[in-house]
Every structure is written in structure tokens, then in C-alpha cells.
């Protein structure tokens, strides 16, 4: 039977895993997974009020997290945003040989910094566990150095510079993660091209028939059909095509709208309803935004 645990403070995570770690900072902690003493029941669901970054060294245990044959094999990193749920799939053999690190930091740590304004750009915090980052040995060492700098600063006496140094080191870590995810999208280019084709097929199938009862396709719908998280799908499409998932939907809506404007005598309102728009003026606005012309102007000029 699965259980659900919600962690409110950084200290809750320390207590859960029974880390032998003295209190250093109430809003951030670095932990060594090889020193885990607590046992978590299989299928336990965990969420927290803070960000979690967990690296597992896959050189010595069989933890895949969605790893493909083309991925690097030196370690996997998963990142969780506040209130995101992680299901712990416990493997006793893997747990016995577990190594890696965890970094937990509360939003209050960065609330007064420039980093807070950029957190939305680190979309990998809303990826699924199976969309984890798989690192090369060099990348693993780079992230370890960033974490070690944070850990070293936490061991110093807190002074007026502590906060800015910790936050700067944290931002550097996140920027490296963004770079390495960019590399992973490139190394998975062949597989990702299949996803692009799949999304185009999903949209084609969606627009076979009347959409008035189905509404507009959403990013969440496309992601579910592709078995990916919405954020990962958008980032994948952006890397491959230059357009994110929402832009793909808009592009297809406009192309389908153009086809119906030129191939039928239906009114703009009828076409808008057929495409799934609740109100025709929304179709008019999107069409003008994307083409520079209203639907009627487009029809009259073609």
C-alpha cells in the first residue's frame, strides 16, 4: 500500500532519510546519499515545499530513470519543483549501493535575488522522472564542483556575504544543468525527430472532423498523447523546430484555418467554431497576430 509524505522544511528531508548531518542553514542543505540510514517504503509518494535536485551515480547501481542507449552512463539527475510528487520505486540491491548527492533549497532562499525571477526558465524542474538528465563523467564532475562549493560555504560561519555566494553558486549549477540538457536534446536528435513527427500526426488526427465539441488542443493534451511532460515536450520541440508546443498548436490552427477559408464558403465564425474556438473573435485575433491579416482579408486576397 502506497503512502504519501509531504515535507514542509529542509529539516524534514534530513529526518526522513536519517542523514547524519548537523543543522547548517534552514533554507538549503546538501546531502550525501551514500550516508542514508533511513528506509523508505516502496511506492512512497513524496512532495515538498521546496526545490529538490537529486543525483544518483549510475556507474555502480542499476537505476535508469528513462535512460536510453544513446545517453551517457555516469549518472542521472532529477529535479523537482515545490509540490511536485515523486514516487519512490525502491530497489533493495540498488539502495544498498546507493551513491550520489541531494540538494534541497527553499524558495525563500532566493526570493530577494535576481535568480528568483529566472526560476521559470529552468523548465527541467517540471520534467517527469523518466526525463532525467544523464551525465557524462566530465559533466558529473562539473556539477559536483558546484555542489561542493555550496556545501563548503554552508560549513562556514554565516555572514553578510553568505547568502549571495550560495545563491550565485546555485545559479551556476542551474545554468550548467540547462547546458547539459541542451546537449542531451542534441544527442537524442534522432529519437526526438520521431516525437516531432508524432506531434504533427496527433494534430492532423485531431483536426479530422468537427472540433466544436472537443475545443482547442492543449499542450497538456499533446504531452499526454506523446507520454511526455508538458515542459519537456515544449523544450524538445523548441530545440528541434524553433517552436514550442503552444506555437506548434497555433501554427497548425492557422494552417487549418487558411485551408478552410480558401476551400469552403463557410463564414469565419463557422470555421472558428469548427476549429474549436469558443468565440470567433479569438480566432480573428490569433489569425491577425500570426499572418498580419484578418481571416476575411486573407480570403479576399487569395
Q: Are residues 202 and 292 in the same domain?
A: yes
Backbone angles phi, psi at 92, to 5 degrees: -60, -40
Q: Which residue among 137, 166, 187 closes a domain?
A: 187
CATH code of residue 52: 2.60.120
- pTM, rounded to two decimals: 0.79
Are residues 260 and 272 both part of a single domain?
Answer: yes
Do 199 and 108 belong together in one domain? no
Claim to verify: residue 154 and residue 127 sit in the same structural domain: yes
Q: Which range among 16-25, 39-48, 162-171 shows the weakest confidence by mean pLDDT?
A: 16-25
Residues 130 and 23 in one domain: yes
Q: Which domain holds residue 160?
A: 4-187
Residues 107, 238: one domain? no
The more confidently predicted of residues 218 and 68 is 218
Does residue 99 share a domain with residue 201?
A: no
105 and 138 inside one domain: yes
For residues 194 and 175, membership in a common domain is answered with no
161 and 267 in a common domain: no
Cell digits for 263? Answer: 476551400
Same domain, 72 and 39: yes
Q: Which residue blocks in the chain are alpha helix, DSSP H?
A: 10-17, 92-96, 107-110, 114-118, 137-154, 162-187, 189-206, 219-226, 230-241, 245-263, 268-275, 280-291, 295-300
**Average pLDDT of 229-245?**
94
Count of the separate structural domains present in the chain: 2
Tens-digit pLDDT profile for residues 117-166: 999 999 999 998 888 898 999 999 999 999 999 999 998 877 888 889 99
Q: What is the CATH number of the domain that holds 255?
A: 1.10.10.60
Q: How far apart are CA 115 and CA 38, in angstroms?
A: 33
Render pLDDT for 129-139 as a digit per residue (tens, 0 to 9). Answer: 888 898 999 99
* Mean per-residue pLDDT, 20-30: 79
- 201 alpha carbon, distance to own chain's centre: 23
Domain boundary pick from 154, 170, 187 = 187
> Do 160 and 87 belong together in one domain?
yes
| CA–CA separation, 298 and 296 (whole Å) | 5
**Structural contact between residues 166 and 174, judged by C-beta atoms closer than 8 angstroms:** no
Provide the sign of the torsion angle of the four alpha carbons 213, 273, 235, 86, taken in this order. Answer: negative
Distance CA 13, CA 30 (A): 11
Q: Write down which residue in 187, 221, 251 finishes a domain.
A: 187
Amino acid at each position: 500500500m502506497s503512502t504519501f509524505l509531504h515535507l514542509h522544511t529542509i529539516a524534514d528531508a534530513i529526518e526522513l532519510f536519517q542523514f547524519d548531518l548537523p543543522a547548517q542553514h534552514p533554507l538549503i542543505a546538501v546531502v550525501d546519499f551514500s550516508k542514508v540510514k533511513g528506509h523508505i517504503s516502496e511506492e512512497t509518494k513524496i512532495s515538498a515545499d521546496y526545490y529538490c535536485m537529486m543525483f544518483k551515480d549510475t556507474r555502480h547501481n542499476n537505476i535508469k530513470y528513462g535512460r536510453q542507449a544513446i545517453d551517457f552512463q555516469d549518472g542521472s539527475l532529477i529535479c523537482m519543483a515545490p509540490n511536485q510528487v515523486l514516487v519512490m520505486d525502491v530497489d533493495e540491491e540498488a539502495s544498498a549501493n546507493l551513491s550520489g548527492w541531494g540538494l534541497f533549497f527553499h524558495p525563500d532562499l532566493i526570493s530577494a535575488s535576481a535568480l528568483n525571477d529566472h526560476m521559470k526558465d529552468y523548465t527541467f524542474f517540471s520534467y517527469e522522472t523518466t526525463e532525467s538528465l544523464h551525465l557524462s563523467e566530465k559533466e558529473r564532475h562539473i556539477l559536483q564542483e558546484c555542489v561542493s562549493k555550496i556545501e563548503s560555504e554552508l560549513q562556514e560561519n554565516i555572514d553578510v556575504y553568505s547568502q549571495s555566494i550560495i545563491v550565485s553558486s546555485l545559479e551556476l549549477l542551474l545554468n550548467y544543468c540547462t547546458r547539459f540538457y541542451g546537449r542531451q536534446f542534441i544527442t537524442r536528435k534522432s529519437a526526438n525527430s520521431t516525437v516531432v513527427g508524432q506531434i504533427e500526426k496527433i494534430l492532423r488526427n485531431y483536426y479530422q472532423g468537427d472540433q466544436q465539441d472537443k475545443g482547442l488542443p492543449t499542450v497538456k493534451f499533446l504531452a499526454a498523447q506523446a507520454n511526455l511532460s508538458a515542459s519537456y515536450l515544449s523544450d524538445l520541440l523548441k530545440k528541434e523546430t524553433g517552436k514550442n508546443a503552444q506555437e506548434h498548436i497555433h501554427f497548425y490552427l492557422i494552417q487549418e484555418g487558411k485551408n478552410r477559408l480558401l476551400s469552403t464558403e463557410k463564414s469565419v465564425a463557422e470555421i472558428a467554431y469548427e476549429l474549436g474556438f469558443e468565440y470567433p473573435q479569438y480566432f480573428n485575433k490569433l489569425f491577425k497576430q500570426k499572418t498580419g491579416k484578418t481571416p476575411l482579408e486573407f480570403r479576399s486576397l487569395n
